[in-house]
Amino acid sequence: MNRMTAPQSGCQRISHDRWLKDIAPSPELREWYGHDVEKWAEFKRRYKSELKKKEDLLRELKREARKGTVTFVYAARDEEHNSALVLKDFIS
């Protein structure tokens, strides 16, 4: 999840019904992590701690997931170390 910009893919915008940007990691956490894979375990722990404080957004996300497909969009180039994976695991 990326809170910086509206969902885009390359230069094209992605059509979306809802953008829950506040469920993304805080700017402070993203800046601290800086996509440094050595910090991955601690990033996951800190992000999960942030998510525990976002019950309303998590409830909304789970409700939408029960209705159909939910797509997580993230800005990281690393497909194995990004906030979308942490969020997906957290709500599973």
Q: How confident is the model at residue 72 (pLDDT cuts 50, 70, 90)?
A: confident
pLDDT of residue 87: 96
Alpha helices in the chain (DSSP H): 27-33, 40-51, 55-67, 83-91
- Quick one: angle between helices 55-67 and 83-91, nearest 10? 80
pTM above the 0.85 mark? no
Q: What is the pLDDT of residues 21-35, one digit of tens each?
A: 899 999 999 999 999
Report the residue count for the chain.
Answer: 92
